[in-house]
C-alpha cells in the first residue's frame, strides 16, 4: 500500500486534476495498491479564511469572495464532468456550498469567529475538492470513493492545530480499510473531536493526513505530489539556481521544514520516521522525475550542506538585564511561561555573558509573549534587574541545514563570509544542538540577497554571479556592454562567472530586468521598453532589488552621477568607473569614499581614471603595499596631447596639427578642453593622492601651453584664429628645443609634495623622448626603482581600452566576492 497526497497546487485547476488522474491511472495500470489524499484547490483555503474574517467584521465583501469560491468549483466541475453527470455532481457540491454560505452568514450575524467555527468552515475546501476528484476518477474508469477523514482521524480540541489521538485513529483507519475495494479519495487537513466537532491539523496539514494514513496502514511509502521537482536546495521561488536533492534523511527534512521549507509540513515526518516508511516528494507536472526520497539514510554528496530554509517573518524578543547573570532557572521560567501561553519558539540564542536571552517567534504571538513575560518577570522588571521586554520586528530567519555540518569545520566561516561580503547585518544567530542547522536572524529586506549569496557560496561555490547596473552607454559604456556580450560564454565556462546586466541607464531612458537584460537586443529594448531616466529612481531600484554581488558601473563623466556614490557604497554595492570627477574632487570626498568602501567590505575602483586600461593605479598601489617609497611620478597622461606633441615637429604649423587631431576625433569637441591641461591636472592629482598625499586640484600648478587669448576666444572658430597667431611662438619653442637635440612633451609630474603640469623640452636620455602616436607613459621613481624608474607605456585613451579596463575591474571585483 502506498499513500499519494496531491497538494493544492496539484488540484488547483481542471488541467491539473486531469494530470493527477493520469498519474492515478498509471498506478492502476501497474496494479499498485494505493489510496490518495487531497488538499483543497490551490488558494481556496486562503480565500475561505479571508471570507470568514471579513464576515466576522461585518464586511459584506465576504460575499464576493464566496461567489468566487463557488464559481471556481462549479467551473471545474463543468470542465471535468460529462454532461450526463454534471447536474448530479453540481447539486452535491451546491449542498456543500450552501452550507458554507450559511455558516459565513452566521458569522457575519454574530460578528464573531472562533477557531472552532473557522475549522468547520475551512473543511469545505478539502471536502469539495476530494468529492469532485472522486467523481472525476470514476468517470475516467478508476473505481473511486470519497472518504471524509473526519470520520477516522480523531483529535483533541486544539482547533486550528489539533493533536491526533493515534490509538483511536489508527484503529479506525485499519478497520475502514478492511472493507474497501475502491480507491479511497481522502480529504486532507481535516479531522474531528471525539464529539464530532470538526478540527484541522494546521496549515499545510494535508501532508500530515497522508502520513497518518500511511503510518496506520504500514504503507510501503508516502508520496507527496506537489508542483516542484522534490525538495530542492532552497525555495526555487526565491533562488533561480536551486536544484533538486535526490535523497535526504528524516532529520534533515525535519529541519528544512521546521525552518520554513513549505514543501513538506513538519509534523508529517515523525509518524513515518518512527515506522521507517520512506517519503517521496514528487512533481505532478513532471511525473517521470524521480523526486526526493526521504528516509533514514541520506546520501552525502560533495556539498557541505543539504539545503537552506527561510522563515520570512519573525519577531525577536530580548530579555536582558543584570538579573539574568548566574541566576539558575531563568530559562525554565521563561520557556515555561511561553509554553503556557502557547507561544511557539522558533530559535533561541543566549550570549555567553548570560546578560541576555533572545528568541524568535511568530510575529502574531508577540503580544501574547510580551504579556506572559511581563507577568512572569514582573518583580525583576520592577526592581530593574531585568529591562523592559523589547520586541524587534521586520526580521527573517535563514538556516543552513545538513548532516555534514556535524563533522565539517569551516562551515560557519563560509556562511558568515557570504553574508558579510554582501553587507548583511546578522541580528542574532543560533546553532541547533543537533548541529544539523545553523540559523541567523537578518533584516527581512535583506532576506532574498542573503539567501542568494549563501546559496551561491555553498552550492555554486565555483560559480559566481555578478549583477551590473550600468549608467552611461555612450562610447565607453556601449563598448563595455559589447565586450561583456562577446566574452560572456567564455567567462561562464572557463571562469565559472555569470555576468548579469540588471540595469542600464543612458541620458534619456533606463531599463531593468531582474533576470538579466538581453545583451543582443538591449538597445532596442531600451528604446522600446525603457522608462524615462531618473537617477534617483535608478539608484533606488538598485538598492531595493538588493541583489547579491551588485556592481555599479558609471561610464559617464558627469558630476551628477558621482553624487550618488556615497549612498551606493553605503548600501554595500561595489563601484567601478572611468569617471574622474570623484577621485579628483575634494580630498575629503575622495577619502570618505575609500573609507566607506572599506567599511562596507566592497570595492570602489577607478583604475581607468589614469592611463585608461593601463595598469597604472594598481601598480602604484602594489609598490606602496610592498613597502616601496614613491620619490617622484612623471607622465604623459593625455592621449590627445601626446598625439599633438609627438606629431608636431615644426614642419607644419601647430594650429594645423591641432586641427588635424580634431578632425581625426582625437580631441574633445572643443580642443581647449585638452589644451588647458585640466584633464592632465586631475590625473596627476589622483596619482599623487594614491601615492598617499593630501592634495587638492588647485594645488596642481598648470603652465599654460597657449596664450590666454586662445582660451578667451568665444567660439571654436575664433579659437583657431587665435591659435594661428600663436603658431610662431610655438615654432620658436620647438626650434630652440631641436637645437639642443630635444623635443616638446606635455608632462605632468609630482615630486616633493608638488604637482605640476607643463610643456617641457626633453632630450634623448628622457624616456618621454621616444613616445609616439597617442601613447601614454608614466614613470615611477621609487626607492627600489631609483636609477631606472618603473615605466608603464601604452595606449592611454580610446573606448576599447578604457572599456576593457572597466571590464577587468568587474572581473577583479568578482574574483574577490564570496
Ligand atoms: P502543495 O500545495 O503541493 O502542498 P506547497 O505550496 O505547500 O504545495 O509547497 C510547495 C512549494 O514549497 C513549492 O512551490 C516551493 O515554492 C516551496 N518550497 C519552499 N522551500 C522549498 C524547497 N526547499 N524545495 C522545494 N520547494 C520548496
Ligand atoms: N488546504 C490546507 C492549507 O492550505 C491544507 C494543505 O494544503 O495541506 O493549509
Ligand atoms: Mg503544502
Tens digits of residue pLDDT in 48-100: 999 999 999 999 999 999 999 999 999 999 999 999 999 999 999 999 999 99
Q: Count CB neighbours of 64 within 10 A.
A: 11
Q: Number of folded domains in the chain?
A: 4
Atom of ligand 2 nearest to the CA of 125: 1
- Residue 205 CA to ligand 3 centre (angstroms): 7
Mean pLDDT of 664-683: 90
Catalytic residues: 683
**Nearest C-alpha to atom 9 of ligand 1 is from which residue?**
263
Q: Which residues surround ligand 3, an ion (CB under 5 A)?
A: 7, 204
Tell me the best of 226, 242, 307 to mutate to test the pocket of ligand 1, counting ligand atoms within 8 Å of each CB and taking the most.
226
- Judge whether residue 387 has pLDDT over 80: yes
Ligand 1 lined by 10 (C-beta under 6 Å) = yes
Residues in CB range of 604: below 8 A, 6 or more apart = 565, 569, 574, 575, 593, 594, 596, 597
Where a domain ends, among 426, 459, 492? 459
Q: What is the C-alpha separation between 356 and 46, in angstroms, rounded? A: 38
Tens of pLDDT, residue by residue over 596-638, are 999 998 999 999 999 988 999 999 999 999 999 999 999 999 9
Q: Is residue 269 part of a domain?
A: no
- Residue 299 CA to ligand 2 centre (angstroms): 30
| Range in 47-56, 281-290, 398-407 with the lowest mean pLDDT | 398-407
Strand order in the sheet with 630-636: 701-702, 754-762, 743-751, 630-636, 775-782, 790-795
Q: For the full predicted model, state whether its pTM sits above 0.75.
A: no
pLDDT at 352: 60
497 plus 441 within the same structural domain: no
Atom of ligand 1 nearest to the CA of 42: 2
Strand order in the sheet with 345-350: 345-350, 356-361, 307-320, 390-401, 437-443, 428-431
Q: Is residue 73 part of a domain?
A: no
513 plus 481 within the same structural domain: yes
Q: Is residue 430 part of a domain?
A: yes
pLDDT at 713: 94
Q: Is residue 278 part of a domain?
A: no
Q: Is residue 114 part of a domain?
A: no
Element holding 790 (H helix, E strand) = strand 790-795
Domain boundaries, position 519: 464-609+806-816
Tens of pLDDT, residue by residue over 436-493, are 889 999 999 999 999 998 998 898 766 788 999 999 999 899 999 999 999 999 998 8
810 plus 793 within the same structural domain: no
Mean pLDDT of 244-263: 92
Kindly tell me the burial class for residue 663, based on how many C-beta atoms sit within 10 Å of its own C-beta (0-12, 13-18, 19 or more).
exposed
- Residue 263 CA to ligand 1 centre (angstroms): 3
661 plus 754 within the same structural domain: yes
Ligand 2 lined by 203 (C-beta under 6 Å) = yes
Tell me the best of 191, 205, 210 to mutate to test the pocket of ligand 2, counting ligand atoms within 8 Å of each CB and taking the most.
205
446 plus 509 within the same structural domain: no
535 plus 629 within the same structural domain: no
Strand order in the sheet with 190-193: 154-155, 190-193, 198-200
651 plus 708 within the same structural domain: yes
Atom of ligand 1 nearest to the CA of 10: 3
- Residue 669 CA to ligand 1 centre (angstroms): 59
Residues in CB range of 529: below 8 A, 6 or more apart = 511
Ligand 1 lined by 624 (C-beta under 6 Å) = no
Q: SS3 for 467? A: strand
352 plus 377 within the same structural domain: yes
- Judge whether residue 353 has pLDDT over 70: no
Pairing of strands 531-532, 509-512: antiparallel
Where a domain ends, among 160, 192, 227? 227
- Residue 289 CA to ligand 1 centre (angstroms): 16
Q: What is the C-alpha separation between 588 and 605, in angstroms, rounded? A: 17
pLDDT at 414: 87
388 plus 518 within the same structural domain: no
Kindly tell me the burial class for residue 82, based on how many C-beta atoms sit within 10 Å of its own C-beta (0-12, 13-18, 19 or more).
exposed
Q: Which ligand is nearest to the CA of 228?
A: 1
Tens of pLDDT, residue by residue over 138-191, are 999 999 999 999 999 999 999 999 999 999 999 999 999 998 999 999 999 999
Where a domain ends, among 428, 459, 490? 459
Ligand 2 lined by 477 (C-beta under 6 Å) = no
597 plus 665 within the same structural domain: no
pLDDT at 252: 92
Q: What is the C-alpha separation between 329 and 656, in angstroms, rounded? A: 92
Q: SS3 for 212? A: helix
Ligand 1 lined by 228 (C-beta under 6 Å) = yes
Amino acid at each position: 500500500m502506498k499513500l499519494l497526497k496531491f497538494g493544492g497546487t496539484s488540484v488547483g485547476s481542471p488541467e491539473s486534476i486531469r494530470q493527477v488522474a493520469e498519474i492515478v491511472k498509471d498506478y492502476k495500470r501497474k496494479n499498485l495498491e494505493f489510496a490518495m489524499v487531497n488538499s483543497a484547490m490551490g488558494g481556496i483555503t486562503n480565500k475561505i479564511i479571508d471570507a470568514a474574517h471579513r464576515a466576522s467584521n461585518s464586511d459584506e465583501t465576504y460575499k464576493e469572495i464566496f461567489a468566487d469560491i463557488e464559481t471556481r468549483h462549479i467551473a471545474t466541475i463543468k470542465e471535468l464532468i460529462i454532461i450526463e453527470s454534471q447536474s448530479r455532481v453540481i447539486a452535491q457540491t451546491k449542498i456543500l456550498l450552501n452550507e458554507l454560505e450559511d455558516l459565513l452568514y452566521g458569522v457575519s450575524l454574530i460578528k464573531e469567529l472562533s477557531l472552532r467555527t473557522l475549522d468547520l468552515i475551512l473543511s469545505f475546501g478539502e471536502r469539495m475538492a476530494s468529492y469532485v476528484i472522486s467523481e472525476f476518477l470514476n468517470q475516467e474508469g478508476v473505481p473511486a470513493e470519497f472518504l471524509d477523514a473526519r470520520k477516522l482521524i480523531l483529535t483533541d480540541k486544539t482547533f486550528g492545530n489539533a493533536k491526533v489521538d493515534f490509538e483511536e485513529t489508527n484503529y479506525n483507519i485499519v478497520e475502514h480499510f478492511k472493507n474497501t475495494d475502491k480507491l479511497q479519495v481522502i480529504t486532507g487537513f481535516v479531522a474531528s473531536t471525539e464529539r464530532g466537532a470538526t478540527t484541522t491539523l494546521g496549515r499545510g496539514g494535508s501532508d500530515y493526513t497522508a502520513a497518518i494514513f500511511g503510518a496506520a496502514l504500514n504503507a510501503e511509502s508516502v508520496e507527496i505530489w506537489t508542483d516542484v521537482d522534490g525538495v530542492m536546495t532552497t525555495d526555487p521561488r526565491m533562488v533561480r539556481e536551486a536544484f533538486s536533492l535526490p535523497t535526504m534523511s528524516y532529520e534533515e527534512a525535519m529541519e528544512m521544514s521546521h525552518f520554513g521549507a513549505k514543501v513538506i509540513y513538519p509534523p508529517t515526518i515523525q509518524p513515518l520516521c518512527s515506522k521507517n516508511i520512506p517519503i517521496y516528494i514528487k512533481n505532478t507536472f513532471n511525473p517521470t522525475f524521480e523526486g526526493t526520497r526521504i528516509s533514514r539514510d541520506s546520501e552525502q554528496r560533495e556539498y557541505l550542506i543539504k539545503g537552506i530554509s527561510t522563515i520570512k517573518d519573525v519577531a525577536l524578543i530580548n530579555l536582558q538585564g543584570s538579573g539574568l547573570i548566574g541566576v539558575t532557572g531563568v530559562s525554565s521560567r521563561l520557556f515555561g511561561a511561553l509554553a503556557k501561553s502557547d507561544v511557539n519558539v522558533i530559535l533561541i540564542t543566549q550570549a555567553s555573558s548570560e546578560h541576555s536571552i533572545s528568541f524568535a517567534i511568530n510575529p502574531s504571538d508577540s503580544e501574547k509573549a510580551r504579556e506572559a513575560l511581563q507577568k512572569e518577570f514582573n518583580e525583576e522588571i520592577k526592581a530593574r534587574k531585568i529591562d523592559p521586554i523589547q520586541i524587534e520586528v521586520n526580521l527573517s530567519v535563514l538556516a543552513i541545514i545538513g548532516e555534514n555540518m556535524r563533522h565539517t569545520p569551516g562551515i560557519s566561516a563560509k556562511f558568515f563570509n557570504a553574508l558579510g561580503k554582501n553587507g548583511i547585518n546578522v541580528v542574532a544567530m543560533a546553532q541547533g544542538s543537533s548541529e544539523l542547522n545553523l540559523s541567523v536572524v537578518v533584516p527581512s529586506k535583506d532576506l532574498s540577497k542573503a539567501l542568494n549569496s549563501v546559496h551561491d557560496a555553498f552550492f555554486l561555490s565555483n560559480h559566481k554571479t555578478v549583477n551590473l547596473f550600468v549608467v552611461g552607454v555612450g562610447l565607453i559604456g556601449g563598448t563595455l556592454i559589447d565586450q561583456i556580450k562577446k566574452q560572456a560564454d567564455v567567462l561562464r565556462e572557463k571562469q565559472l562567472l555569470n555576468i548579469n546586466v540588471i540595469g542600464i541607464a543612458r541620458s534619456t531612458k533606463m531599463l531593468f530586468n531582474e533576470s538579466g537584460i538581453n545583451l543582443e537586443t538591449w538597445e532596442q529594448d531600451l528604446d522600446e521598453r525603457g522608462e524615462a531616466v531618473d537617477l534617483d529612481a535608478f539608484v533606488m531600484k538598485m538598492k531595493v532589488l538588493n541583489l547579491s554581488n551588485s556592481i555599479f558601473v558609471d561610464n559617464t563623466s558627469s558630476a551628477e552621477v558621482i553624487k550618488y556614490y556615497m549612498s551606493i557604497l553605503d548600501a554595500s554595492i561595489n563601484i567601478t568607473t572611468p569617471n574622474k570627477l570623484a577621485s579628483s574632487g575634494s580630498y575629503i570626498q575622495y577619502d570618505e569614499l575609500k573609507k566607506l568602501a572599506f567599511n562596507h567590505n566592497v570595492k570602489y575602483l577607478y583604475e581607468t581614471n589614469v592611463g585608461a586600461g593601463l595598469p597604472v593605479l594598481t601598480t602604484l598601489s602594489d609598490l606602496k603595499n610592498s613597502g616601496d617609497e614613491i620619490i617622484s611620478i612623471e607622465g604623459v597622461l593625455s592621449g590627445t596631447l601626446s598625439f599633438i606633441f609627438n606629431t608636431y615637429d615644426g614642419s607644419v604649423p601647430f594650429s594645423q596639427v591641432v586641427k588635424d587631431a580634431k578632425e581625426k576625433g582625437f580631441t574633445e569637441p572643443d580642443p581647449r578642453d585638452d589644451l588647458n591641461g585640466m584633464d592632465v591636472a586631475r590625473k596627476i592629482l589622483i596619482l599623487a593622492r594614491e601615492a598617499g598625499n593630501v592634495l587638492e586640484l588647485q594645488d596642481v600648478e598648470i603652465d599654460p601651453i597657449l596664450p590666454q587669448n586662445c582660451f578667451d576666444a568665444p567660439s571654436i572658430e575664433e579659437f583657431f584664429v587665435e591659435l594661428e597667431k600663436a603658431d610662431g611662438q610655438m615654432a620658436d619653442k620647438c626650434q630652440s628645443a631641436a637645437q639642443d637635440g630635444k623635443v616638446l612633451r606635455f608632462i605632468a609630474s609630482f615630486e616633493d609634495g608638488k604637482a605640476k603640469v607643463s610643456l617641457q623640452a626633453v632630450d634623448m636620455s628622457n624616456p618621454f623622448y621616444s613616445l609616439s602616436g597617442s601613447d601614454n607613459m608614466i614613470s615611477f621613481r621609487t626607492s627600489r626603482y631609483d636609477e631606472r624608474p618603473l615605466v608603464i607605456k601604452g595606449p592611454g585613451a580610446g573606448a576599447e581600452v578604457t572599456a576593457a579596463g572597466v571590464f577587468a575591474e568587474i572581473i577583479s571585483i568578482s574574483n574577490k566576492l564570496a
